[in-house]
Structure 1
Amino acid sequence: MLKIAIQKSGRLYEDSVKLLKECGIELNNGNKQLKTVAFNFPLEVYFLRDDDIPQYVYDGVADIGIVGENVLLEKNKDIELLYRLGFGRCRLSIAVPKAMKYDSVNDLKGLKIATTYSGMLQQYLAEKKVDAEIHEISGSVEIAPGIGLADAICDLVSSGSTLFTNGLKEVETILQSEAVLVTNKKLPEEKKTILQKLLLRINAVKTAKNNKYILLNAPNHQLGNIFKLLPGMKSPTVVNLAEEGWSSVQSVVNENDFWDVIEKLKQFEAEGIIVIPIEKMIV
């Protein structure tokens, strides 16, 4: 049985549970249990505070965990980052009052900075050779300048709306963060086998999200140009149409390249382009 720790509430909880379900793992977490066992996969799930997950994985109480990269780096435990999961994206940034004149990181010298992430902030300031006072607090960091507790803050930022509401502006980014899968480095071989099965499923789900399946009709004299755009997993699938000189082409396109590819396909006389989401993609 593989034991995984995920956030019991907060910004990573829903996406973590959704990922496990997309991997075909059925959970019953009725009444907000702190521990549950999957029905159809050898997996036991612990629901914990985000800040506690690195310690639980390091101690071997949990074998693996899903945690924010910002927490992983701040806690600095000797555990392994296995997989970047692509959700829960945010950044750890320094913000100052809007009215403050700010030209460079040197303007932070001598200021008092409130944060929950004192370790990463201290490292960043040391790298920049900036001498500032770090005031460690937990929760509601953004109000610190407004009540006179600090001159600036270092906190997680997603949209920036919370900073704006509290009269702050973002001036330095310390870290781009997302949810990551981590593991204890001393995992027994039998648990490594289960983990590899889980990773196969996670990779199939994440790869599918990053790609689209497309079908189109095109004149045969343009197929060479289209094949260069649509390599697919090995090569496109081509089927002759009833209309002479035309073919149906089926392939896979990366999400990041999608619209550029579509525009070029139109230039190569492609018609009837159909785009289909991919549920799972095993490469």
Structure 2
Amino acid sequence: MNLKIAIQKKGRLSEKSLQLLEECGINISNGSRVLKAKAKNFPIEILFLRDDDIPQYVEQGVVDLGILGENEVLEKDKDVSIVSKLGFAQCRLSLAIPKEEDYKGLSYFEGKKIATSYPKILSNFFEKENINVQIEEIGGSVEIAPSIGLAQGIFDIVSTGSTLITNGLKEVETILTSEAVLIGTKNLSSEKQEILDRLLFRINAVQSSSENKYILLNAPNDNLQEIINILPGIKSPTILPLAKEGWSSIHSVIKEDTFWEIIEQLKNKGAEGILVLEIEKMIL
């Protein structure tokens, strides 16, 4: 029995999804134009589909799982579960208006027409804000809508904001932040749930390794307790005596997002020979 997983058939999200599975030790061979592939060493089958079709296929049980952007999941509003957030393909969905317009808050959009490829997300947002807007649904090239008189503003995915600037627009409100998620059907059999649990175990190990660094350092024993307090590790640091009297070697794990702050604190407490290593896998 294989667990069926749908991923986007092309693009950056597809590449990152396959990379994640590879980092989980799952060997998938997919040549060009192949829309279905089986893993050689794990009981899963991959289907390569349009991302906006994936929620429907998961809801109907055609596939068991899907990897796609959270924004697409919310827009399609199908009866599926978000099993796990995957930490890549981050983006934001924002409102933008012509750069010469004076913006003082959401009330600006009262009675105005907004062009978007995400009408459901946008409609739900403005309903909660009790603001009446007209939504113009278009499939692409949303940024051009104000300049051709189709709408007074847009709601779309923003990354660097350069496309908005090129089209004479400015970002005024971020409505949603999104990332890749693993979604699942709500009626998995016990056999497939067991396979999913094994897959999630591997995904969690990969995610934990990317969020942490392994650190080794030499520390004076006089400041050992203070340095230990800075470096709690997963449970507590490993401490080994050095040949040099009065010094110890400390091994620990630190979070990527606090890395430089912690390094500075360690240096201030007399730590020397600090070595920082990538972690390939981390089993908690």
TM-score range, shorter chain: over 0.9
Aligned to 1:258: 259
**Structure 2 residue 7 is matched with structure 1 residue 2:** no
Q: 2:277 maps to what in 1?
A: 276
- CA drift of 1:172 comes to 1.3
- Equivalent residue number for residue 146 of structure 1: 147
How far does residue 158 in structure 1 lie from its aligned partner after superposition? 1.1
What displacement does 1:82 show?
1.1
Matching residue's letter, 1:281: M
Aligned to 1:31: 32
Name 1:233's counterpart in structure 2.
Answer: 234
Per the alignment, residue 14 of structure 2 pairs with 13
Deviations along 1:239-266, one digit per CA (max 9) or x if unpaired, are 1111011111000001111111100000
| Matched ranges for 1:1-283 at <5 A | 1-283=2-284
Residue type at the aligned position of 1:136: E
TM-superposed deviation, 1:11: 3.2
Q: Once the 2 structures are TM-superposed, how far is the Cα of residue 145 of structure 1 from its aligned partner?
A: 1.0
Could you say what secondary structure the match of 2:266 adopts? helix
SS for the counterpart of 2:12 is coil
Following superposition, the deviation at residue 127 of structure 1 comes to: 1.2
Alpha-carbon distance in structure 1 between the residues aligned to 2:164 and 2:35: 33
* Partner amino acid, structure 1, of 2:59: Y
Cα gap change, 1:32/1:229 in structure 2, threshold over 3 Å: closer, same or farther? farther
Matched position secondary structure for 1:86 = coil
* Deviating more after overlay: 265-274 vs 156-165: 156-165
User: Under a length normalisation based on structure 1, what TM-score does the superposition of the two structures give?
Assistant: 0.98
State how far apart, in whole Å, the 2-side matches of 1:192 and 1:230 are: 37
How far apart are the structure 2 equivalents of 1:66 and 1:203? 15
SS across alignment from 1:252: strand
Deviations 1:49-71 (A, max 9, x none): 11111111101111011111101
Q: What do the CA deviations read for 1:67-93 (whole angstroms, capped 9, x no partner)?
A: 111010111111111111111101111
Runs of 4 or more consecutive aligned structure 1 residues displaced over 3 Å after TM superposition: none
Kindly provide the amino acid, as one letter, of the partner of residue 97 in structure 1: P
CA distance in 2, matches of 1:21, 1:164: 37
- Report the 3-state secondary structure (helix = DSSP H, G, I; strand = E; otherwise coil) of the residue aligned with 1:28: coil
Could you tell me how far 1:45 is from its partner in structure 2? 0.3
Q: For residue 127 of structure 2, give the secondary structure of its aligned residue in structure 1.
A: helix
Shift of residue 121, structure 1, vs aligned partner: 0.5
Paired AA for residue 73 in structure 1: L
Rounded Cα–Cα distance in structure 1 between residues aligned with 2:132 and 2:12: 33
Alpha-carbon separation, structure 1, partners of 2:169 and 2:9 = 30
Structure-2 separation of matches of 1:264 and 1:32: 53
Aligned mates of 2:109, 2:125 — CA distance in 1: 12
Q: What CA RMSD, in Å, does the superposition of the two structures yield over aligned residues?
A: 0.8
Most deviating of 230-239 and 242-251: 230-239
Residue 10 of structure 1 deviates from its aligned partner by 2.5
Partner amino acid for 2:159?
S
Residue segments in structure 2 that go unaligned for 5+ positions in a row: none
